[in-house]
Structure 1
């Protein structure tokens, strides 16, 4: 017999375990691991014998390859343990479950696991995913090769090192992880959104609950509209409140757009009265109207303010979105648009310069009820990053940014093409 230092999990699953007297103590049904220190470390074994389940740890355990390529498991010094003191089960929480490939930024299925002996301990070092592993587990590897050959499809498996994956199922009894989804939190919100869209509702909720509020808000903005409402309504009250605190009213309206009135009210109750009314007003617009996508957070000042004063005000603000600095609007006492400056004007001019002396006076505006197509036409014609939105009284009430228009028109088309 040859002792194995690296082997596949499914090759030992269901095999008999023999003690030092070569007596069978049962069949291996699952393995307990802990992930507190990197690669999941084996700490216990779930064994089935005579219709009953036992939970063991062993002083020593070795895996040997027999002449028929099957694996024999030999142990010494067995000790029964309490399963609730251990974290994860490989079959129950990993095998055949979804896992996130961090580098490939996609969700894959765990078809097998590679286990290796490292410094006297057995650890999960990699995940295998692909058709070959699935057919191999059914003892139909050659049949799979023939089928995939006829279909001219790739029959090879992908091997993902444990450092490059994030498990969605490996949770403890409290359904929490000590450092939740730390690998996922390093992804760009757009990549994270793509991954979440390929998960079930329960997994999406679990991940969102673990993200910090800034990343959660940015990711929610990138999520396809059809998922946004269901995500926000399923979150805990605490997480919902955190998100609403940092989201602009137009972003909140975008999220609530797919919900019915009762579901909206349950979420709007977390907002200040003025904000809730503004969100409702945005939701009241037709989908094709500029008002439905305008941002209600914008910067506007009077004619007599100086560059230095604007900079000081912006510095003292708790949070300023990059979008708000595309164009800063100058208004009169009636809040009608008189001109605009850009962030470059703030950088290039001296603090004592008044905005009325440097502002662009010929500013294109658009009314809140007109079709979005008109905003697209203006943006394209004048190469604008932002267009001020006015009401019937020509009062400034919002702004439409170029990337909002891109999201509105091009993003759904792009998503449809890649699916």
Structure 2
């Protein structure tokens, strides 16, 4: 007989609860835990056990166990306590149930950047309380649940084999069950915001549709916009249609206008109009302009988020503008010099900014060999220019040589090589 400090939820469930006189008080059905959202120096961020669902007299009831002790007999557990107090369900407000919300559910492995299934939950009892420390997503956890892991261990031992085991510490876990996730959102920052948008897009695509929108809603708007760009079209449409109108509009405003326009092309006209009316006027107008271009034209692919300057400005002026505005990286592929009528006059590269005297005027530095395309040209007209001149971005002008935007090389290759993420 051994008093345990670490134990597994799967072996705790179904155990009888004994008092100090070995009277059976009930049987454990589930465990309530609460996540502390405002931590002091002595408080763990791991979920803490605060109560139990206990089967008593043919019914499941909420209970608090005083002076809990778990004792191991072989592979079996015996749960002892000084006393058991039945309480109302409201006693555990803000808590969630481990078996109901975590066990057998999908979770996000933050470090592994993938979706995994919880086969068991490891817990620890210390002087400060009982806490969840890790989830078991390995084969051993599943066999333990079935009660056959010791059999397989003995079977493999003569051959030097081991049952694969994998634990993920709670700090590296993000739950996706809606019941649990609402509790997690009270934390100041979702762990999902630390995952690269491309990885998180892959994770969301692997989720069932019931989880995709709640997970997406937990992200901050900047990160959500980046993730939305990386999703396949069918997931983009599902999420935008599932979000509240205001939330969806806020995220679309953070996306490049050309990406937002591409997404809206796959929505019903009524939904598109609702979103455009909800968006800020400036962002809405940019997207409307792009939606007017026919599919397969340069204009349908270009971004209007560009940096323009006048010939009289200096390199120092440009560098200061970039420092203040902090534009997206794509906006820095090419910088454009225009006149008072927005007619394209020249192009500045990042190399120009780095190697030229800061006091030099742009008219002395800019490249006047524009290599521009018309906004109504077909997309195949741009491939030759990109390959011949090794350009990262190509300026797009209208019939009056006025600058409308640019097409970046990433979007060109995605479109021409058919690598755009589709349904």
The question of a shared fold, defined as TM-score above 0.5 by the shorter chain, is answered with: yes
Deviation at 1:372, TM superposition (A): 3.0
Per-residue displacement from partner, 1:241-276 (whole Å, max 9, x unpaired)?
Answer: 432443332232133232111221121112355643
**Secondary structure in 2 matching 1:48:** strand
Equivalent position of 1:158 in the other structure? 166
Question: For structure 1, which runs of at least 5 residues remain unmatched after alignment?
Answer: 149-153
Deviation at 1:115, TM superposition (A): 1.4
Per-residue displacement from partner, 1:316-370 (whole Å, max 9, x unpaired)?
Answer: 65x5222222211223455333221123323433344222221111121122233
For residues 118 and 411 of structure 1, what CA distance do their matches in structure 2 show?
Answer: 57
Kindly indicate whether the alpha-carbon contact (under 8 Å) linking 2:229 and 2:255 is maintained by their aligned counterparts in 1.
no
Equivalent position of 1:92 in the other structure? 100
For residues 235 and 23 of structure 2, what CA distance do their matches in structure 1 show?
Answer: 55
Is 1:183 the counterpart of 2:197 in the alignment?
Answer: no
Is 1:30 the counterpart of 2:33 in the alignment?
Answer: no
Pick from 82, 88, 105 the counterpart of residue 82 of structure 1: 88
Q: Aligned Cα RMSD in Å? A: 3.1
Equivalent position of 1:125 in the other structure? 133
Kindly indicate whether the alpha-carbon contact (under 8 Å) linking 2:253 and 2:283 is maintained by their aligned counterparts in 1.
no
Equivalent position of 2:7 in the other structure? 7
Equivalent position of 2:78 in the other structure? 72
Pick from 68, 74, 98 the counterpart of residue 61 of structure 1: 68
Is 1:326 the counterpart of 2:333 in the alignment?
Answer: yes
Deviation at 1:120, TM superposition (A): 5.5
**Secondary structure in 2 matching 1:304:** coil
Gap change, CA 1:177 and 1:310, over 3 Å in 2: closer
Is 1:337 the counterpart of 2:353 in the alignment?
Answer: no
Deviation at 1:180, TM superposition (A): 5.5
Kindly indicate whether the alpha-carbon contact (under 8 Å) linking 2:304 and 2:406 is maintained by their aligned counterparts in 1.
yes
Kindly indicate whether the alpha-carbon contact (under 8 Å) linking 1:34 and 1:41 is maintained by their aligned counterparts in 2.
yes
Question: For structure 2, which runs of at least 5 residues remain unmatched after alignment?
Answer: 37-43, 157-161
Is 1:353 the counterpart of 2:387 in the alignment?
Answer: no
Gap change, CA 1:84 and 1:198, over 3 Å in 2: farther
Equivalent position of 1:372 in the other structure? 379
Kindly indicate whether the alpha-carbon contact (under 8 Å) linking 2:303 and 2:407 is maintained by their aligned counterparts in 1.
yes
Equivalent position of 2:41 in the other structure? none
**Secondary structure in 1 matching 2:99:** helix
Per-residue displacement from partner, 1:10-40 (whole Å, max 9, x unpaired)?
Answer: 1121122122222222211000112213222
**TM-score normalised over the length of structure 1:** 0.86
Kindly indicate whether the alpha-carbon contact (under 8 Å) linking 2:302 and 2:406 is maintained by their aligned counterparts in 1.
yes
Q: Structure 1 stretch 220-229 or stretch 121-130: which is displaced more?
A: 220-229
Q: Structure 1 stretch 305-314 or stretch 28-37: which is displaced more?
A: 305-314
Deviation at 1:111, TM superposition (A): 0.9
For residues 312 and 354 of structure 1, what CA distance do their matches in structure 2 show?
Answer: 14
Equivalent position of 2:55 in the other structure? 48
Per-residue displacement from partner, 1:157-204 (whole Å, max 9, x unpaired)?
Answer: 321121221222375696563215532222222222222222233433
Is 1:381 the counterpart of 2:378 in the alignment?
Answer: no
